[in-house]
Chain A
Amino acid sequence: MSNAIIWVIMIPLLGSLISIIWSRYASLIAIISNLVALVASTAVLMRVYQSGPFLHELGGWHAGLGISLRADALSSILLVMSMTVISAATFYASAYFTDAAKRARFWPLWLMLTVALNALLLSGDLFNLYVTLELLGLSAVALTALSDNRAALQAAIRYLSIGLLGSLVFLAGVALVYAGYGTLDLATLASLVQANPLSQVAFGLMTAGLLIKSALFPLHFWLPSAHASAPAPVSAALSALVVKVAVYILLRLWVDVFDLVLTLSSTMLLGILGAIAVIWGSWQALQAQRLKLMAAYSTVAQIGYLFIFLPLIAALPEGALQDAAFTALLLMALTHGFAKSAFFLSAGVIQQYCGHDRIAELGGTARALPLTIFVISLSGVALIGLPPSGSFLGKWYLISSSFQAGQWWWIPVVLVGSVLATAYVFRILGHAFGPGESIGRVLNRGREEIPALILALFATLILGFGSAELWDLVAQHAEAAGN
């Protein structure tokens, strides 16, 4: 069923087109197309799980002339995660937008964002990565600007100009690669690339572009205002998926194509930037006055954790240890995806029903919105990395592999980061359970709270206990990459 890889991209695209024409039924179209795409993405994952990575050569052309879509362990897992988060946020959004005009505007762009995410995760061609990055950037900016107030528009404009600059720097790297190696297909490039000055400069440019897109520490200034001022389902997708997908491309380029080019010192630089991001992001999250701003800074911190893994993977010898570190990286990314989207969705519920999301005035929300606060605490567990959650395993392997690799200095960073994370999560819960009469009666808005609950449960329980399959999937990926 190699066509599932096409349906994953084409169903949301058709859904987006139809929702422009029949804007009255847009919510229904969006829910149906996202669910069908979710089923198709699990079909892709099952196929990869049983018979290994597979290729779909578009247009029947091969050997670099045409574009090929590639599904392997790394991309199919992230595909299923992003489709789950998108489907949950779609249910949430159908109840979240009360104003009909705004709802009619939201759906086409939301489905276009899904198309961009899926197309980017499955793409196997450098220029195609540029086009999907551009589509992702534009639809994310459009959705951020949907909340139509001054802060959102200023954040959207800064996000757009920085995003365009990142895409152009990435395209400059693609141009140099095409100049030197004469092909754009990642698979053929993997065999051609050697460590010569051209590859280093080209990969440097591509990394710089992707660092802008994934908001690593010095280049993260556009993220907090954009994620905090966007509507709740949009900031859930932005934080959980859009920044993570840029990290995915960096990983794919590095592991599959440019592994000879990368020196240990450059990964160490990325690791140090990641460490600063962890400390600085968590510290800023602690200072934040608003829930969504805190969640945005915590995203900056969590992205930092992913980059700490890079020097470890580069230093560890080929084989079981490196696979363990790689799987832990994947696990951290997945857990953060689920936990952060659950957090943003419940922050949206609080914003809508208490009229504000200022943390200091959250008194009494625990009594008024019990399920929402429970979901926030669950996702807090996953953000901190307490035992039942996937990120506990992730941080555990981070610490153990930094022992094995002899780079002990990452351990204090992880510990300080986790302590700060505990601080800012309990600050919220403290205020929420505190005295105060924000709304008189107990509210339960099933359609908005259940999706957030499911995502939070994914982050804590399913990824915590059920991550055994992840290990052999990545081991299979390692063999595929090895031979």
Chain B
Amino acid sequence: MISTQLLYALAGVGLFAIGLRATLLHHLLLPRLLALNVCGAGVFLIFIAIAYAGIEGMPDPVPHALVLTGIVVAVSATAMALALGRRLENIKSDAIKSEATKSETLKSAAVKPEAMNDE
């Protein structure tokens, strides 16, 4: 019977591989973001499997602090990625809407001068 530590460490490596595979596979933002979170959970599981010291033993607190930091970093990266995705979708839908309005107004009013592309 393999030790609990090794079982959970291998589970962590498994999660990391599943997440990595899905990150490389998906193009869309949301599935890729979920895959990255799964990948992160795998690395965190490796850290905590290392810290485990048996049912009675005191676990090593340093990986616990590192993984806590990792969880908070992961949620802020997720929030940022979702904000970027939402902004891109808004720009795409605005473009489609302005495309539609532009084709209607093409006949009547003069076309609005192209706004200077201020970087």
Give yes or no for direct A-B contact (beta carbon below 8 Å): yes
A148 cross-chain contacts in B, Cβ below 8 A: 87, 91
Q: How far is the CA of A165 from the CA of B33 in the complex (A)?
A: 10
Q: Does A375 contact B (CB under 8 A)?
A: no
Q: Is the CB of A165 within 8 A of B23?
A: yes
Q: How far is the CA of A169 from the CA of B36 in the complex (A)?
A: 11
Q: Is the CB of B39 within 8 A of A127?
A: no
Q: Is the CB of A160 within 8 A of B119?
A: no
Q: Does B25 contact A (CB under 8 A)?
A: no
Q: Is the CB of A172 within 8 A of B16?
A: yes
Q: How many residues of A contact B (CB 8 A)?
A: 36
A164 cross-chain contacts in B, Cβ below 8 A: 36, 77, 81
Which of A131, A142, A169, A172 meets B80, CB within 8 Å? Answer: A142
B40 cross-chain contacts in A, Cβ below 8 A: 168, 171
Q: How far is the CA of A116 from the CA of B80 in the complex (A)?
A: 17
Q: Is the CB of A145 within 8 A of B46?
A: no
Q: Is the CB of A161 within 8 A of B36?
A: yes
Q: Is the CB of A157 within 8 A of B84?
A: yes
Q: How far is the CA of A141 from the CA of B83 in the complex (A)?
A: 12
Q: How far is the CA of A138 from the CA of B73 in the complex (A)?
A: 10
Q: Does B88 contact A (CB under 8 A)?
A: yes
Q: Which of B60-77 contact A (CB under 8 A)?
A: 62-63, 66, 69-70, 73, 76-77
Q: Does B53 contact A (CB under 8 A)?
A: no
**Chain B positions 89 through 117: 1 when the CB is less than 8 Å from some CB of chain A, otherwise 0:** 00110010000000000000000000011
Q: Does A351 contact B (CB under 8 A)?
A: yes
Q: How far is the CA of A165 from the CA of B50 in the complex (A)?
A: 22
Could you tell me the distance in whole angstroms from the C-beta of A438 to the nearest C-beta in chain B?
15
In the complex, what residue of chain A is closest to B32 when comparing beta carbons? A161
Q: Does A154 contact B (CB under 8 A)?
A: yes
B42 cross-chain contacts in A, Cβ below 8 A: 172
Could you tell me the distance in whole angstroms from the C-beta of A257 to the nearest C-beta in chain B?
18
Q: Does B7 contact A (CB under 8 A)?
A: no
In the complex, what residue of chain B is closest to A96 when comparing beta carbons? B119
Q: How far is the CA of A138 from the CA of B84 in the complex (A)?
A: 12
B81 cross-chain contacts in A, Cβ below 8 A: 157, 160-161, 164
Which of B32, B39, B47, B92 meets A168, CB within 8 Å? Answer: B39
Q: Is the CB of A131 within 8 A of B73?
A: yes
Q: Is the CB of B117 within 8 A of A149?
A: yes
Q: Is the CB of A156 within 8 A of B84?
A: yes
Q: Is the CB of B16 within 8 A of A131?
A: no
Q: Is the CB of B46 within 8 A of A179?
A: yes
B43 cross-chain contacts in A, Cβ below 8 A: 168, 171-172, 175
Q: Is the CB of A149 within 8 A of B91?
A: yes
Q: How far is the CA of A149 from the CA of B119 in the complex (A)?
A: 9
Which of A99, A141, A157 meets B118, CB within 8 Å? Answer: A99
In the complex, what residue of chain B is closest to A154 when comparing beta carbons? B88
B88 cross-chain contacts in A, Cβ below 8 A: 150, 153-154, 157
Which of B36, B87, B92 meets A145, CB within 8 Å? Answer: B87
Q: Is the CB of B29 within 8 A of A161?
A: yes
Q: How far is the CA of A231 from the CA of B118 in the complex (A)?
A: 10
Q: Is the CB of B91 within 8 A of A178?
A: no
Could you tell me the distance in whole angstroms from the C-beta of A181 to the nearest C-beta in chain B?
11
Q: Is the CB of B92 within 8 A of A157?
A: no
Q: Is the CB of B50 within 8 A of A160?
A: no
Q: Is the CB of A150 within 8 A of B95?
A: yes
Q: How far is the CA of A148 from the CA of B118 in the complex (A)?
A: 10
Q: Is the CB of A127 within 8 A of B36?
A: no
Contacts A171-B43, A175-B43, A351-B119 given; indicate if A145 touches B84 (C-beta within 8 A). yes
Q: How far is the CA of A171 from the CA of B43 in the complex (A)?
A: 7
Q: How far is the CA of A81 from the CA of B39 in the complex (A)?
A: 35
Which of A138, A156, A231 meets B77, CB within 8 Å? Answer: A138
A138 cross-chain contacts in B, Cβ below 8 A: 76-77, 80
Q: How far is the CA of A102 from the CA of B47 in the complex (A)?
A: 41
Q: Is the CB of A153 within 8 A of B84?
A: yes
28 residue pairs of the A-B complex, CB under 8 angstroms, read: A98-B118, A134-B77, A138-B76, A138-B80, A142-B80, A147-B119, A148-B87, A148-B91, A149-B91, A150-B88, A150-B91, A153-B87, A157-B81, A160-B80, A160-B84, A161-B32, A161-B36, A161-B81, A164-B81, A168-B19, A168-B40, A168-B43, A172-B46, A175-B47, A175-B50, A179-B46, A355-B116, A355-B117
Binding site for B on A (CB under 8 A): 98-99, 127, 131, 134, 138, 141-142, 145, 147-150, 153-154, 156-157, 160-161, 164-165, 168-169, 171-172, 175-176, 178-179, 184, 231-232, 348, 351-352, 355
Interchain residue pairs A-B with the least CB separation, the first 7:
A153-B88, A175-B46, A179-B50, A172-B43, A171-B43, A157-B84, A175-B47
Q: Beyond A149-B117, A172-B43, A179-B46, list 18 extra A-B contacts (CB 8 Å).
A: A138-B80, A142-B80, A147-B119, A153-B84, A153-B87, A157-B29, A160-B80, A164-B77, A164-B81, A169-B20, A171-B40, A172-B42, A175-B47, A175-B50, A178-B47, A178-B63, A184-B62, A355-B117
